[in-house]
Structure 1
Amino acid sequence: MSAERARPAREPRRSHLSIPAIRLRSVPVLRYAGTPDDAEGTRIQNRGPTASPRGPGGGVGPGEVGNFIVTGHRTSHSAPFRDLPALRAGDRVRVHAGQTVYVYRVTATRSTSFRSQRSLAEQSAALPGRPNADPVRSMITLSTCATPEDHAAGNYWSDRFDNPEHRIDKVGVLVAELVVD
């Protein structure tokens, strides 16, 4: 099966994320209509799972061409992305959605600033980092707070949802789709 499908068969409301390199296993990913780290996304993360926005300003579902965005807490609320900054190029990310496991390979690390509209647009772009480019591949952006780094630099700014100024984003490309029973 091609790793460049335009749209997977009916995406379930909940999928599960596993990242072997940081010992993350089967963390729920809840989709919602919105943008990364908005009120609804923050509410979802505050309950412990990760959140995945859809629609204008959000991303696409797993396996779809474009940017599948998953956000999670790093320092609170079960901290599923506690060790996300340790991911390196080449590490694998698995997303189990319905009968399919999507395997992504990490290719890059980005920084996003909540105080920069351009930076936010780059994070949410269909082609991560390139807001006006058309996507041609299925990609993933895993995003978490840079609170420890911001605080170490003396930056205590936060938005109305208590997000720190900076996010650490790990970007990857889809390399395989596995059908499971």
Structure 2
Amino acid sequence: MYGLLTTPAAPSGPAAAPSNPAAADTQAPTRIQAATLSIPAIGVSGLPVVPYQGSPDDAPGTRIQDQGVAASPHGPGGGVGPGDVGNYIVTGHRVSAGGPLRALPSLPAGASVFVTAGGVTYEYTITGTRTTSFRSQASMNAQRAAVPGSPGTAPTRAMITVTTCLTPEDNAAGNFWRDAQNNPEHRIDKIGVLTATKP
């Protein structure tokens, strides 16, 4: 079923004792800015994340990913900045442009994702997994929602969605549908919550 968490999401209160709870849950918004992404559990270290105004995996975002880096959409069709309350969305290729997120499907709940921007490192903890269908507007709306998977819900904390394609899985199932950017129908989304902020 698309758009449902396959592992339980964290409750709406703090998931863990952040090193700076005020920064984790009630901080003032940061500026949209370039960042780096590190996910030690799957060997990602210092992957550049380029912000742009748009929606996940649209034409501008795909052009950014084609350079072997990650993209972070923001604005009405995207998310927020690093550490901001809401949904910080990071997209990257799995099978092309060096496949920086090739191991993302194996990322388990409880793993740490580190985003460094403006001299601050934000640690997110993975709480769940979603599958998004690019052939379903409702599924895409859930991916891009301020609270991932819950369109219309007001965010109360900083969250992250790290997403990449399910091309090998779609191909194996005989699903060769592609959108205008050559994205397959399905994407895997790893959802996390901000649990620590370190200067």
TM-score class, shorter? over 0.9
In structure 1, what residue type is equivalent to 2:45? R
1:135 aligns with 2:126: no
Q: Distance in 1 between matches of 2:124 and 2:26?
A: 14
Conserved in 1, the CA contact under 8 Å of 2:25 and 2:157? yes
Give distance in 2, aligned partners of 1:125 and 1:80.
24
CA contact (8 A) 2:124 2:194 kept: yes
Shift of 1:8: 4.1
User: Which aligned pairs between 1:70-89 and structure 2 lie closer than 5 A?
Assistant: 70-89=90-109
| SS of aligned partner of 1:120 | helix
* CA distance in structure 1 between the aligned counterparts of 2:154 and 2:118, rounded to whole angstroms: 27
Instruction: Return the match for 1:113 from 107, 128, 133.
Output: 133
- For 1:160, the equivalent position in structure 2 comes to 180
Whether the 8 Å contact between 2:32 and 2:80 is mirrored in structure 1 is no
CA–CA distance in structure 1, aligned partners of residues 72 and 28 of structure 2: 16
Using CA pairs below 8 Å that are at least 6 residues apart, which structure has the higher relative contact order? 2
Of 144, 149, 152, which aligns to 1:124? 144
Normalising by structure 1, what TM-score?
Answer: 0.96
Q: Which amino acid aligns with 1:25?
A: S
Query: One-letter code of the match for 1:134?
Result: A
For structure 1, the residue ranges without an aligned partner over 5 or more in a row are: none
User: Taking structure 1 as reference, are residues 30 and 90 closer, same or farther at Cα in structure 2, changes over 3 Å only?
Assistant: same
Contact 2:30 2:83 survives alignment (8 Å): no
Report how many residues are paired. 178
How far is the alpha carbon of 1:7 from its aligned partner? 3.1
TM-align CA RMSD: 0.9
Structure 2 unaligned spans of 5+: 1-19
Aligned to 1:50: 70
3-state SS of paired residue (1:21): helix
Q: TM-score, normalised by structure 2?
A: 0.87
Q: 1:9 to 1:167 in 2, by over 3 A?
A: closer
